[in-house]
Every structure is written in C-alpha cells, then in structure tokens.
Structure 1
C-alpha cells in the first residue's frame, strides 16, 4: 500500500487559519508527525540512538507543513522549514493566523451569533457549526483572558454593532 503524498485540503492563506489548522493537525496525526509541532519535541533527544529518528520526523513534519502553505504564506517560515524546525513553523503560523486582538474576537463572536438553522439542516449539523464557531472564537483569547475583559469587550461590541450605517467607517477602524 503506497502512502498518500498529496495534500487534499485547502492550503493555508492569509484568511483561513481556523479551518486549515485542524486539517493540518489531522494530516500530521495520520503520519504520526504531529508530536513534532509541540514544544516537548522541539529539542533533540539526549539519547543519540533516537537522534536520527527525531531528525527524520522533524524534517518530514516541516516538509508537510510547508507543502500545505500557499505561496503567499511560505516566506514566513521558509528558514524554519530548511532547518527542519516544525515547532517553530507551527508557532509562527499560529501567531500569524490567530491574532488575539479584540477586533478578531468581535468578528468571531458576531459570526457565532449570526448562525441560524438552515432550511433542511439537521439539528446536530447546526450544533456542530455552533461548536466550531465557538472553538474559533475561543482560540482568539489570550491565556490570561478574564471574564472582566470579556464583559468590557462585549459592551464595546454591543455599542459598535448598534451604531447606524453612517458610523461604519468608525466601527471598522477599531
């Protein structure tokens, strides 16, 4: 049985990190390479007998990640790919794709609140879309994000969302 050597999901672009990331993780998991995207596996093992396997795994993971990037994203991590540093690649891509700022959280919250049960859609399918939107929103929070910060942002989001159309330029600038 030959191994599938083709990426069969959308390449990472400037706008699709939230949908690309779970696809890439799954792809690496099927090849037993996802561990190389973690901090725990970011440094070589002290056991020299395991070093070659670790190096091969890092090179493979870095290569697959690079193959899953659109040409516009590749320059960001080309040096890490050449060095076989998939963890560094993963961190840079996450930082770029998940800018944890209030404007992005507002967009994610608005997208989640705008979800509606589609005609002909089963309730379980709708639930899955709500959960996926919730996960995207949660990914945009800093580790130290508090309920107080959420309350403050929700107040600001409510004000922005309720402004008339003539304030559209103001709302989008924030």
Structure 2
C-alpha cells in the first residue's frame, strides 16, 4: 500500500466538488475509504458463541476451555481494534493535512473521527437545499465554451456540473418536484439586480415550491407599490412644508414691525427698515445694533 502524499490541491472554499472526488479516490487507494465512508465499523468485543459440540462431562474442563476461548477471542478482537484504530487515525490525519488552513476550523471538533470529518465537510458544501440547487443550476446554464477549449473538455465540465446538481437533490426528489423547482428558478433568475435582497430571502427556503414562490412574488409587488406610494406622499408633504415656509418668510420680509416688541422681527427705530434691530445705515461694512423698543 502506497503512502505517498496526495498530488492534488487542498480543500478551499471553492473547490469541494473536485477535492472530494480526488480525496475519495486517494483514500480508496490507501485502503482507508471504507472507514471514512462508515461502511467498516470498529470491531466490538462480543462473547464467543456457544459451541454446538457436546460439552465434556467434566465441569472443570468445560470452564477451563470456555475461559481459554474467551481469552483468545478478546486478544483477537483487541488486535483487530488496534488495526482499525491505526487506519482511522491515518485517514483522519490525511484529511486534516489536505485542508486549507481556514477550512480546518470546520472539523476541529471532530478531527479524531474521519467519518465525522467527511460528513461535516459534505454537509457544509453540499447542503441539499433549494438555494444550493439554484446556484448549481445557475452555474450549469452559465457554462460557455472557452476559445481555447476542446469540445471534450466542455462535455466534461457539463457532466461535472450536472453531477453536482444531482448530488444536491434530496432522496424523495422526483420529476414533478424538479418541474416545480425549475419553474421557480426561472422566475427568480429573471429578476434584475434591484431584487437582490428579495432573491436572497427566497434562496433561504428549504424548498422552492412553485405556489409559495408565486405568492412571494405577488406580496413583494404589493409591498413595492406601497413603499413607492409612501415615498411620493412624504415627498409631497416635504414640498408643501417648504412652500409654506417660503410664503411665511416672504410675508415677514415685507411686513414692517411684525411681532413688534419681541426683539426678533421689529424694525429698527433709527432707520425703520432693517429687521432684528440691526442697522447698517451709515456704513456698508459695519452695523450698529439698537436696543429693542419695549
């Protein structure tokens, strides 16, 4: 069994699909995959099964034979457990080493259990939710052939993207569910950028049910109309207040002696023109405040 290091890239936040395939193949080549996948469990210590042969008549001989068989069975089980533990530690170590530094925090709490590590990574990057499937289908339909790409390479990319879409489907996902979900996805994909917050809220749903999405669309339309009407109303009120303030200001400017005695809008007793008891008469660069008449 080879023990050379893997030659593929470590897991990052963007390459789980390719990393998981490469890592699975490498673990299989090392004889470790059955432990990681959970198909090979740790041997348990069980009492030996009773012999079908006729037991000896001597009870002392019977007890000695049973004790010897039990001891032999325990020793063999412990040996198998040690071998299993060694493989488990090796698998966990390789998975840990093939993670980028920022990905290790995802499995820090279960880094001694390779099966739990693999399950945690899979549940993180392959969430079988509507939002994950929407992004996968969006990537699938966005595939375009590069100028220097061969047709075979294009086929491979499409197949890989389709496998990702299939892996994100729940077990009870059938053609009817696919049709309903595709209808919802087309509706969401047709929305412009100004609906980005609305789209984000829809993709948080576990299922993109057609009826639910259509009802959400109608509700969003109603709310947008209400917000637009409120904005127009507020703007009209603000414009009215500014217009009213302008009329009041012009009236005060042209009304001498308004609020006389308040010291705010009384006209100057010296010149009879200026407001706030400030007279600029006699000098263009200075003013001479006068006391407010009482």
**TM-score, normalised to structure 2's length?**
0.53
Which residue of the partner structure matches residue 55 of structure 1? Answer: 85
Q: After superposition, what is the alpha-carbon deviation per residue over 1:41-73, rounded to whole angstroms, capped at 9, x for unaligned? A: 1x3124614222211111100110111112222
Alignment partners' CA distance in 2, 1:68 and 1:123: 32
Alignment partners' CA distance in 2, 1:69 and 1:132: 22
Please list every run of at least 4 consecutive aligned residues from structure 1 whose deviation after the TM superposition is greater than 6 angstroms.
Answer: none
Cα distance, 1:167–1:76 mapped onto 2, change above 3 Å: closer
Unaligned runs of 5+ in 2: 45-75, 203-294
1:156: Cα distance to partner? 1.0
Verify: 1:142 aligned to 2:170, yes or no: yes
In our comparison, the structure showing a higher alpha carbon Rg is 2
Verify: 1:103 aligned to 2:131, yes or no: yes
Q: After superposition, what is the alpha-carbon deviation per residue over 1:115-162, rounded to whole angstroms, capped at 9, x for unaligned? A: 123223222211111100001111111112222221121111111111
The alignment of Structure 1 onto Structure 2 pairs a total of residues equal to: 169
- Report 1 or 2 for greater relative contact order, CA contacts < 8 Å, sequence distance ≥ 6: 1
Unaligned runs of 5+ in 1: none
Which residue of the partner structure matches residue 159 of structure 1? Answer: 187
Alignment partners' CA distance in 2, 1:38 and 1:110: 30
RMSD: 2.0
Alignment partners' CA distance in 2, 1:119 and 1:135: 24
* Residues 68-79 of structure 1 aligned to structure 2 (within 5 Å): 68-79=98-109
Alignment partners' CA distance in 2, 1:15 and 1:118: 20
Instruction: From the two aligned structures, give the one with the greater helix fraction.
Output: 1
Alignment partners' CA distance in 2, 1:118 and 1:93: 31
**TM-score, normalised to structure 1's length?**
0.86
Q: After superposition, what is the alpha-carbon deviation per residue over 1:87-136, rounded to whole angstroms, capped at 9, x for unaligned? A: 11111111111111111101111111111232232222111111000011
Alignment partners' CA distance in 1, 2:194 and 2:87: 55
Cα distance, 1:164–1:77 mapped onto 2, change above 3 Å: closer
Which residue of the partner structure matches residue 64 of structure 1? Answer: 94
Alignment partners' CA distance in 2, 1:146 and 1:54: 39
The answer on whether the counterparts of 2:3 and 2:30 sit within 8 Å (CA) in structure 1 is no
Give the secondary-structure state (helix, strand or coil) at the position aligned to 1:11: coil
* Residues 18-97 of structure 1 aligned to structure 2 (within 5 Å): 18-41=17-40, 43-46=41-44, 48=77, 49-82=79-112, 85-97=113-125
